[in-house]
Amino acid sequence: MERILVGQFKQESHSFVPGRTDVPDFEHDDARRGAGSLVRVGNREMDGYLDSADELSVELVGTIDVWAHSGPVVTDAAFEKYTSEILEGIKDNLDSIDGVMLGLHGAMMTESFDDAEGEILERVRNLVGPDSPIAATFDLHTHMTQKMASNADIIVGYQTCPHVDLKRTGRTAMDILIKTIRGEVRPSISIRKFRMMTSSEPHDDRVFPNNEVISMLHAAETNPSILSASMFCTQPWLDISELGWTSVVVTDADAELGQTTADAIASKAWDLRDNYIVNKMDADVAIDTALAGAGLFAFSEGADSTTAGGSGDGNLLLKVLLKRNIDVPVALMVRDPEAAAACVAAGVGGKVTTTLGGKLNPDFYSPVGVTGTVKTLTDGRYINEYGGIRSVGMGPTAVLQVGNISIMVTTDKPRMVDYEAYKSVGINPLLFCIIQPKSAGAYREYYEKIATCIDIDVPGPAGSDLTALPYTRIPRPLWPWDTDLVEAW
């Protein structure tokens, strides 16, 4: 029976939020090691790895499965710790493994490396040698580089946004890796990086324009010589020197076919580029729309998206709502450790006067004063559904009632794509007129089923107008900074 070593180490970095992502951010309930990392948890890559290994009679060797929230760049100490754990696992099993499978995000930056995943893959390649196959799975928002492609044999990315095909991604990559080990295929990677960037809202594979690009991936994979096709739309909020979208095609020993196909898919996205411009609604207009309508309205403050790297302390929608003094029930969240502590000290039913938000990322936000009643207190633990089942800890969390506004005040940031965080503190979205996800697009996977979805136009570190953010290192020319750019690469 063949043996394949598996390691997962993930974080999506953001250049415009302060602080660092360090070891404690990775060490939570979902951090798993050794054989304990090889568990099914619900629509994640590991589920696909295990399904493939079971059906094709391959033994998997676990090392680590660790992740941290999207956020600030990763410390060198954390990067070296977890990379070393994977490498030590390989060293311990080097004479008995037939290949390596890595679950990576693809947009991790560290204090020393812009291309952290490329560095991981290079170190693994140097350890296993040129002949041992390496496969890697990646998020759709991967910052793909030539260094990654040069050190991997197989690259497979998510094809969906919102990301709902993690299990498929893992299964596809593991199937190809096992066939490679058995000599049934000889994978060849072709990539095409092109000079285009967009905010993440229009990356939705279900609607125009990105559905046309993703449909080309599906069409390409009907060719028996094409093992997988991926489009990496890239984490937009990275200020790095190799920024840009990248198409990747893995063929069975047909590099020419792979390059032709990768170029065609890239050209399609480039031709559609003007359709990726994001238009959002003014917050006051959105409120008027909700007041004139019926049912629930989801106002996404995507510029502070907690799953894109935002700190969660954005309060611009709250400020608009306080000025309007509207008389319909509203639910929103603001991360503020000091305010959360004040609510805990006051206790349920207590009155609290505090400033809220704008303390963690002062480049974009400033605090706002509120007075309210503590309605609920929890320890902040809940089960997140989006992107695979995960345990999330928000830290001590309160619902502060300010007039008709129910504010979920958290110590640490939740994942605001689904509504499980709200439900964990007793907020039932269906009982409100307006509710606020903090998500740059992916929230629609959940909220479109129960609400009218509106992306509101407020600034923030994950803002959709990329040209308004303080990039200093990106390659030029690059669209949309250079709107007269004609050649895609």
User: What would the pLDDT profile of 158-208 be if each residue is shown by its tens digit?
Assistant: 999 999 999 999 999 999 999 999 999 999 999 999 999 999 999 999 999
Write b or e for each residue in 393-431: b if 16 or more Cβ atoms lie within 10 A of its Cβ, otherwise e. bbbbbbbbebebbbbbbbbbbbbbbbbbbbebbebebee
pLDDT in tens, 242-279: 999 999 999 999 999 999 999 999 999 999 999 999 99
Are residue 322 and residue 425 in the same domain, yes or no? yes
Is pLDDT above 80 for 153?
yes
Coil, helix or strand at residue 363: coil
pLDDT at 330 over 90: yes
pLDDT value for 460: 96
Domains in the chain, number:
2
Task: Band the pLDDT of 55: cuts 50, 70, 90.
Answer: very high
276, 311, 339 — which closes off a domain? Answer: 276
Q: Is residue 489 part of a domain?
A: no
Task: Decide the pairing of beta strands 434-435 and 297-300.
Answer: parallel
Choose one of 213, 246, 276: the last residue of a domain: 276
* Residue range 113-133, pLDDT digits in tens: 999 999 999 999 999 999 999
Instruction: Determine the pLDDT at residue 199.
Output: 97
Residue 54 has pLDDT above 80, yes or no: yes
Q: Residue 28: what pLDDT?
A: 87
Q: 137 and 8, same structural domain?
A: yes
Residue 173, in any domain of the structure: yes
The boundaries of the domain holding residue 359 are 283-463
Q: Is 231:264 a contact under the CB 8 Å cutoff?
A: no
- Do 384 and 420 form a contact (C-beta atoms < 8 A)? yes
The model's pLDDT over 27-41, given as tens digits with 9 standing for 90+, comes to 987 899 999 999 998
Instruction: Evaluate whether 265 touches 404 at the Cβ level (below 8 Å).
Output: no
pLDDT (tens digit per residue) in 219-236: 999 999 999 999 999 999
If one compares 371 and 29, the residue with the highest pLDDT of the two is 371
Percent of the chain with pLDDT over 90: 97
Q: Are residues 175 and 242 in the same domain?
A: yes
Note whether residue 307 is domain-resident.
yes
Asked if 389 and 243 sit in the same domain, the reply is: no
| Listed residues 217, 248, 276: the one ending a domain | 276
Q: Is residue 473 one of the residues assigned to a domain? A: no
* Pair (321, 414) in one structural domain: yes
Same-domain pairing of 266 and 365: no
